[in-house]
Amino acid sequence: MSASTEAGVVEAVGKELFIGGKWVAAESGRTFPVVDPATGKELCQVADASPADGVTALDAAVAAQSDFAKMAPRERGEILRRAFELLMQRQDELALLMTLEMGKPLAESKGEIAYAAEFFRWFAEEAVRIDGGYATAPNGSGRFLITKQPVGPTILITPWNFPMAMGTRKIGPAVAAGCTMVIKPAAQTPLSMLALAGILAEAGLPEGVLNVVTTTDSGGVMEPLIRDGRARKLSFTGSTGVGRKLLEQCADKILRTSMELGGNAPFLVFDDADMDAAIDGAMQAKMRNIGEACTAANRFYVQRGVVEEFSRRLTERMQALPMGRGTEKDVVVGPLIDDKAVDKVTELVKDATDRGARVLTGGSGVDGPGHFYQATVLTDVPQEARLNHEEIFGPVAPITPFDTEEEAVAKANDTEFGLVSYVYTSDLKRALRVCEALEAGMIGLNQGIVSNPAAPFGGIKQSGLGREGGSVGIDEFLETKYIAVAL
């Protein structure tokens, strides 16, 4: 990949705030750098919004809400359909942009663009399927008329690990439902969202419907908008700790909320599992996005009869993964997002080894530029190790043996989180028992990837509220109104 090609895709993206359909500088004139995590070098500077800029963005969303809510559902759907087509036409350039700012290998970035685009195609079709109801009152004296309306201006906050898909997963249903938006992407990866804003404008989204605010002061800019009272919904993807703070703020004006928070996914392998499928699924569930995913397999529980074989084969696969900058050919293990991420993974691995875990491969960071950590497999990891209770967000697979089905389920559920679990077994009865017993919003049964725009994504316990995607995804952006009709 040439330096001029990389510079070209960065140059093509707007670097200012996108408010009211226009690119505008931050009112203070401040900017902040976007850095390539593989090299530590600055890619560009983008506008650094102040609280006043946030209020201006909300003003624009509020002003646009009434007219946008009246737009025909088919027309809103066609905007999303055109945006889907533009994303797919520009998949290569957008993938390179994502790799430069986030670090994931190009092949994965291309996959994310396709995944992100699919949310627009799905919700383009859902826009015309918003329904209601008509019923006779039980005593026959009247009628019930049920209708659904857009909830109103929304605040959307997205993370850095899937900088395009987490945006389309929220923007798609908001547009389909008729809601205007203020969206704040993560400061580490603002370029993908800024590119998406340009694409939506090109697809015909009216001015003021989508407003993008980039900032290094997330709390200072977003809290006033949450407490303002004019926004009626918050959708957030990020850590459970931040989610708790946002829920407290939303309570002030009783904002409707949907949140996809942290995960601690267990990956259960029983001794009757198809071992080839289990290893392939483990690689998918662990190494997708370099392990920087809330759905990443965080804890591997393997039945004692097959733990040695599973550990050996997983180690062989992890050792064979090429590491490097995501733009390089065949690279699978790119950099983590920043030094803080590397430090966290390092701490977790040290804690496990201090408690008796053995390193089968990897186990350390990498000297030189960029934020790299080796693909790592640990075995004999005790249940009390921090790796089994905290989200790793890195390429580390900790393996703990178990003996019985009951023990496996108990260990899997021993967490405050409940986003996703993975189960590998060839026994149908066991599969049903275990899937029903696991405390998670999603289960991967003999497969290592659960995310799909056509399926309801979300967790239970402290992994979040509500669902994104699927036929229920649009409901988060709709209010139900009941009209009592006298006869």
The pLDDT-based confidence of 1 (bands split at 50, 70, 90) is low
The pLDDT-based confidence of 307 (bands split at 50, 70, 90) is very high
Once rounded to an integer, what is the mean pLDDT over residues 56-63? Answer: 98
pLDDT at residue 3, as a whole number: 85
pLDDT at residue 2, as a whole number: 78
- Tell me the two tokens of residue 262: 């942290």
Does the annotation mark 260 as catalytic? yes
pLDDT at residue 357, as a whole number: 97
Once rounded to an integer, what is the mean pLDDT over residues 165-193? Answer: 98
Express each pLDDT in 350-393 by its tens digit.
999 999 999 999 999 999 999 999 999 999 999 999 999 999 99
Once rounded to an integer, what is the mean pLDDT over residues 253-261? Answer: 97
Q: How far apart are the first and last CA of the chain?
A: 71
List 112, 126, 260, 476, catalytic entry: 260
Average pLDDT, the chain: 97
pLDDT at residue 4, as a whole number: 87
Q: Which stretch of DSSP H or E encloses residue 76?
A: helix 73-89
Q: Is the pLDDT assigned to residue 163 strictly greater than 90?
A: yes
Q: CA-CA distance, 39 to 427, in Å (whole number)?
A: 47
Q: CA-CA distance, 315 to 298, in Å (whole number)?
A: 16
Give Cα 150 to chain centroid, integer Å.
23
Strand spans (E) along 60-219: 133-136, 142-150, 154-157, 181-184, 210-212
Express each pLDDT in 195-208 by its tens digit.
999 999 999 999 99
- Domains of the chain and any CATH numbers: 6-261+464-486 (3.40.605.10), 265-445 (3.40.309.10)
Q: CA-CA distance, 411 to 300, in Å (whole number)?
A: 10
| Contact between residue 80 and residue 121 where contact means Cβ atoms under 8 Å apart | yes
Interacting residues of 249 by C-beta distance below 8 A, sequence separation 6+: 223, 226, 227
